[in-house]
Structure 1
Amino acid sequence: MQLWLCPLIAFLLGSIPFGLFIARMKGIDIRQHGSGNIGATNVLRVVGKKHGITCLILDALKGFIPVVIALNLVQIEGRKVGIPIPALDAFALHLPAAEQLTGQLVHVATALLAILGHNYSPWVGFKGGKGIATSAGVLLGLMPFAVVLLIAVWLLAFAITRYVSVASIAAAAALPLLTHVGARFHKGPDGRTLWEAGTWNKPLFVFSVVIAVLAIWKHRGNIQRLMNGTENRFQPKKKSNA
């Protein structure tokens, strides 16, 4: 049951359009303003900083929570669960190391469906956000150290360009590279790297490529505006002297 229940939970949680709900609480249909996107960036621009940050956190949790649940419900022998939830132990499926691929596929499918639920929510006509915040939440559950590096890439790209879209595209493009490098340097119990031992997480690498391509594809409108010189550059609000 856990093998299909985890991805299903992920899609349902991912599909909750928090940006739409937050904006409606202020009497705004976020789809009719700014970029028309229901993600945190558009909420921040249209509704305000506090609401944008709230949306960012909630969208990230939509990815983080189902992945943590999946890691606890489908466990692999010899692999520690990053964030253990003791209450789920009684319901956990324990797979032998020889079947690690099955567990990895479930974890990755859960992560992917959380993002797809956000990007193509059935509650808003199978439309949604660009999936950056939800992807960050997913990765925080699957590979937290990579998130730290991706944030650094995002901040560097943003500091140089002052474009949120460019920073997001740069972080997305860096993800497969970081996943590959992680397999090359992360060592297993036998002292060999996961790459040398052949036990590196192949589904996770494929997943990183898929969500990177998906994130960049969702930014195709931004890319076109960047090429046309019409993309909105982030400009901090000037304080009034009054």
Structure 2
Amino acid sequence: MTVPAHLALALPALVASYLIGSVPAAAWVARARGVDIRKVGSGNSGATNVLRSLGKGPALGVALFDILKGALAVGLAHLLGLGPVWAAVCGVAAVLGHNFSPFLNWRGGKGVATSFGTIAALDPVVGAVVFAVGASCMWLTRYVSAGSILGALTGAAVSVALGRPWWLVVVVAGLSTLLTWQHRDNITRLHAGTERRLGEPKSSKPKV
């Protein structure tokens, strides 16, 4: 039986996108500096943990690389002529690769930067809103988790409000849901008032 041409390209593109997403930049950058990112801070292989463990320079590099992973997956699908729906699915595959990397025993980060890269590549307007809301919340509250969640949920709402295609709404909503689930422990700490702010020492205690 002959495999349809679009599937013959789409399946390898999905695998490639997952592998692109699974490249653990945070873990490898930290390892180059003698640090196991899974054993420091939050234990997540993401830019925020790198920021707290290694500083601003390495964290910026990791964040940009993780954003690029989502954008590259979307771009690969477009390059192969697969169309916008498959491009969105490839972006999701990259996020799943980042969150559940075979290089880290199926662990990884929380998918914030890679989700943003995917959304921005699929729809720059929605991506710009996600960035503006998320960054503003982080700046005002110094809670990375709160900014990440609020930005993602806003992206889902904006994609509906702007009348974007159903597949884009589903993908943005799905990524927002996954991101929120990945931050479930942070949500618990936010509710309890024990979530760390950016720049706050690990041993810092609330003022009384």
- Root-mean-square deviation (Å): 1.5
For the pair 1:223 / 2:203, whether they are aligned, the reply is: no
Aligned residue identity for 1:228: A
Q: How far off its partner does 1:234 sit?
A: 1.6
Superposed CA deviations along residues 129-181 of structure 1, whole A, max 9, x for unmatched, are 00010011111211112111111101221233221111001001111111112
What is the distance in 1 between the residues matched to 2:165 and 2:25? Answer: 32
2:205 — aligned with what? none
Task: Tell me what 2:131 maps to.
Answer: 151
Match of 1:106 among 86, 94, 98: 86
Task: Describe the superposition over 1:189-233 as per-residue Cα deviations: whole angstroms up to 9, x where unpaired.
Answer: xxxxxxxxxxx5211111111100000000011111112221101
Of the three residues 175, 192, 195, the one matched with 1:211 is 175
What residue number does 2:121 align with? 141
Are positions 1:233 and 2:197 aligned together?
yes
Contact residue 11 and residue 114 of structure 1 kept, 8 A: yes
Check the 8 A contact 1:3/1:74 in 2, yes or no. Answer: no
Q: Which of the two has higher C-alpha Rg?
A: 1
* Identity in percent: 37
Query: If the length of structure 1 is used for normalisation, what is the TM-score?
Result: 0.76
Q: What letter corresponds to residue 56 of structure 1 in structure 2?
A: A
The 8 Å contact of residues 129 and 155 in structure 2, kept in 1 or not, is answered as no
Give 4+ residue runs of structure 1 displaced > 4 Å after superposition.
Answer: none
More helix per residue: 1 or 2? Answer: 2
Q: Normalising by structure 2, what TM-score?
A: 0.88
Query: What CA distance in whole angstroms lies between the structure 2 residues aligned with 1:66 and 1:108?
Result: 9
The question of 1:74 aligning with 2:38 is answered no
Give the Cα separation in 2 of the matches to 1:217 and 1:32.
22
Unmatched 5+ stretches in structure 2: 1-7, 202-208
Deviations 1:73-123 (A, max 9, x none): 125xxxxxxxxxxxxxxxxxxxxxxxxxxx343122101100000000111
One of 14, 34, 38 as aligned partner of 1:7: 14
Q: Secondary structure at the match of 2:172?
A: helix
Amino acid at match of 1:64: A
The alpha carbon displacement at 1:41 in A equals 0.5
CA distance in 1, matches of 2:179, 2:37: 21
3-state SS of the aligned residue for 1:233? Answer: coil
1:236 positional shift: 7.6
Write the distance in 2 (CA, Å) between the matches of 1:156 and 1:29: 31
1:88-99 correspondence to structure 2 within 5 Å: none
